[in-house]
Structure 1
Amino acid sequence: MTGRTVVVTGANSGIGRVAAQVLAERGARLVLAVRDPEKGRQAAAGMTGDVEVRRLDLADLGSVRTFASELTEDVDVLINNAGVMIPPLTRTADGFELQLGTNHLGHFALTNLLLPRIRGRVVTVSSNGHRMGSIDFADLQWERKPYRAMTAYAQSKLANLLFTTELQRRLDEAGSPVIATAAHPGLAATNLLRSEGRSRARHAVERAVSRLMSQSEEQGALPTLFAAVADVPGDSYAGPGGLLEGRGAPTLVGRSAKARDRALAARLWDVSEELTGVTFPRAALGSAA
């Protein structure tokens, strides 16, 4: 990875921190894109190599635009890793439901803003939870129906895969050599689960069960690294190869029928452009299409 620049969102903890550390050890220049720069600096202090910390709040499109405008160097790999999971109903700075706003729309805007400077690939971290997901275009932001945090999470993770599919289609159409890939960590013991809105006892039980059934952060980061550096095709999806894709060595895995729906992916892309005000930079990629 010597001579290559990698941007990892949410790299101050969990599988993002592990992936960043491994890539830095292999000679890459790392940019840790994190909401809390102090936590980012603490994570960077435990890494070897060329590591820089920059502030990025994916729940604020203003922050996304600032980050993208200030990152002027070429990027070999963008890893869209940051995410939130099943918090109580919360709104982003732009009024989006927090999980869709952070997990999908923030990364959607970031990727398109950086795309003219990306030379290699875009990796977006999804989840096996996408299989329970559906895209409710009538109420994407949970403004009318009763809020269900896990359903909202599944929607955001399905959106990650649909984004990858449509991004690859557009890259191919533009004649770009960049590829879009996705990955999921299996059942990894990380701090993704937020404790807000749940009792301490329930949160403690959830964490205990998670650690008993899951693999380590180090193992959970392997599919992300596989998607970032292995010889894989565009629109591929990496995950653990073990039972129910919960753990094991990384390999290419399947996805739900909805996640393979190209018409759904195209529609979500159009809606995402309208919501974020960010469009695919076709002209900057040199396409005549």
Structure 2
Amino acid sequence: MTGWTADRIPDQHGRIAVVTGANSGLGLVTATELARHGAHVVLAVRNTAAGQEAARRIGGDVEVRELDLASLASVRTFAAKLVADHPVIDLLVNNAGLVLLGPRRTTADGFELHLGTNLLGHFALTGLLLDALAAGRGPRVVSLSSITHKNAHLDFDDLMSERDYRPAPAYGRSKLATTIFGLELDRRLRAIGSPVISTLAHPGLTRTNLTPRAWEHRGRLGKAVARLGLLATQSVEQGTLPQLRAATDPGVRGGQFFGPAGLFETRGRVTEAKLSREAADPAVGRRLWASSEELTGVSYL
């Protein structure tokens, strides 16, 4: 397999990078590669014990900070303390995500847990760190999407899935919302001439603990994908390359979306990925942004 690899990451010395969900899976590999290339990496994690173990494995210039994206109070506390210590931030990788099985659950603020964690926590975090990012060198925000976003649809009359809740579709909707956010963020940053760019990536089908959960309830095809599991998926190291490219490639432009080039974008070398029509619709982006500001109480751009 050829194409873009982590060896093409430029020197990151002097850069401050924040990676959410950095204690396992895609986040751990992202943090490891950024640190390997010289960045000071902040591991933003809910479980600090797991974060400390990840920091030990990574080595390099890393620090662990507690962040629970399912709590806006935690997001605000994390952001305030981080900016106090690091008034200049160069990179934010909104990597953390979850897939639930079982009944509907909510965040500390009453949001459906998928949407509240995968979108709203990161929406608030990005806004609270934006001034520090604007002071950075070649600053970027990377949002982590999923191929499941392509079959999802947002119902603005039921964003919290109170009327119709099923775990896997709720995950897909949260990833559609995350994708819409990343694109709308790019539009708004461009409109004000900000030095910050917003990019997006998805890992295809990668061997993390999220992949089977995201697919197993999506009808016959989803169940087949979940059963094939290890045969259909790629390594975490390969699956992380799209977001590493989105985060570090000097030639990347705001709004670009990266994923695997293989069959149905499930695996393979890194290429530009395809967006669903709904994800790319600016009118949907504006509506979701307004809803996110109202729900989180964090307004920016």
**Structure 2 length as normaliser, TM-score?**
0.87
CA contact (8 A) 2:205 2:211 kept: no
What is aligned with 2:276? Answer: 256
Structure 2 residue 293 is matched with structure 1 residue 276: no
Query: In structure 2, how many angstroms separate the alpha carbons of the residues matched to 1:248 and 1:175?
Result: 35
Deviation at 1:212, TM superposition (A): 1.9
User: Match for residue 30 of structure 2?
Assistant: 19
Deviation at 1:146, TM superposition (A): 3.1
In 2: Cα distance, 1:142 partner to 1:253 partner: 28
CA contact (8 A) 1:84 1:194 kept: no
Confirm or deny that 1:135 pairs with 2:154.
yes
**Structure 1: distance between partners of 2:183 and 2:110:** 26
Q: Does the residue aligned with 2:22 lie in a helix, a strand or coil?
A: coil
Conservation of the 8 A alpha-carbon contact between 2:212 and 2:226: no
Check whether the contact 1:86–1:193 (CA below 8 A) recurs between aligned residues.
no
Tell me, in whole angstroms, the C-alpha distance in 1 between the residues paired with 2:192 and 2:81: 25
| Matched residue, 2:241 | 222
Instruction: For residues 159-178 of structure 1, give each alpha carbon's deviation from its aligned partner in whole angstroms, at most 9, with x where no partner exists.
Output: 11110111111111221011
* Structure-1 residue corresponding to 2:4: none
Note the 1:20-99 alignment, pairs <5 A.
20-72=31-83, 73=86, 74-88=88-102, 89-99=104-114
Q: How far apart in 2 are the matches of 1:30 and 1:207? A: 33
Offset at residue 244 of structure 1 (A): 1.2
Mapped contact 1:75–1:117 kept (Cα < 8 A): yes
Question: Any idea what SS the aligned residue of 1:71 has?
Answer: helix
Partner of 1:182: 200
Runs of 4+ in 1 over 4 A off after TM superposition: 205-208
2:110 and 2:27 map into 1 onto residues whose CA distance is: 26
The whole-number CA distance in structure 2 between the counterparts of 1:107 and 1:269 is 12
| 1:101 matched residue in structure 2 | 116
Shift of 1:87: 3.0
Displacement of 1:206 in angstroms is 8.2
The answer to whether the 8 A contact 1:30-1:51 is kept is yes
Q: In the aligned structure 2, how far is the partner of 1:128 from the partner of 1:193?
A: 11
* Aligned-partner Cα distance in 2 for 1:256–1:79: 22
**C-alpha contact 2:149 2:173 (8 A) present in aligned 1:** yes
Asked whether the equivalents of residues 112 and 278 of structure 1 are also in contact (C-alpha less than 8 Å), the reply is yes
SS in 2 for 1:221: helix
* Residues 200 and 256, structure 2, Cα contact 8 Å, conserved in 1: yes
- In structure 2, distance between residues paired with 1:83 and 1:93: 16
Q: CA RMSD in A?
A: 1.6
Task: Provide the secondary structure at the position in 1 that maps to 2:186.
Answer: helix
Alpha-carbon contact 2:154-2:173 (below 8 Å) kept: yes
Where structure 2 has 5 or more consecutive residues not aligned to the other structure, the ranges are: 1-11, 217-223
Contact 1:34–1:54 (CA under 8 A) maintained in structure 2: yes
d(CA) in 2 for partners of 1:147, 1:252 = 32
Identity %: 53
Query: In structure 2, how many angstroms separate the alpha carbons of the residues matched to 1:62 and 1:252?
Result: 36
Count of residues in correspondence between the two structures: 272
Q: Among 248, 256, 265, which residue is 1:236 paired with?
A: 256
Deviation at 1:71, TM superposition (A): 0.5
**Deviation by residue 1:176-201 (Cα, 9 ceiling, x = unmatched):** 01100010001000122698xx9xxx
In the alignment, is the contact (CA less than 8 A) between 1:35 and 1:55 conserved in 2?
Answer: yes
Alpha-carbon distance in structure 2 between the residues aligned to 1:274 and 1:153: 21
Q: CA deviation at 1:252?
A: 1.2
Deviations 1:44-79 (A, max 9, x none): 101121010000000000000000000121111100
Give the drift of 1:151.
1.4
The AA in structure 2 aligned to 1:233 is: R
| 1:208 Cα deviation from its structure 2 partner | 6.2
> 3-state DSSP class of the match of 1:75?
coil
* Contact 1:124–1:181, Cα closer than 8 Å, also in 2: yes
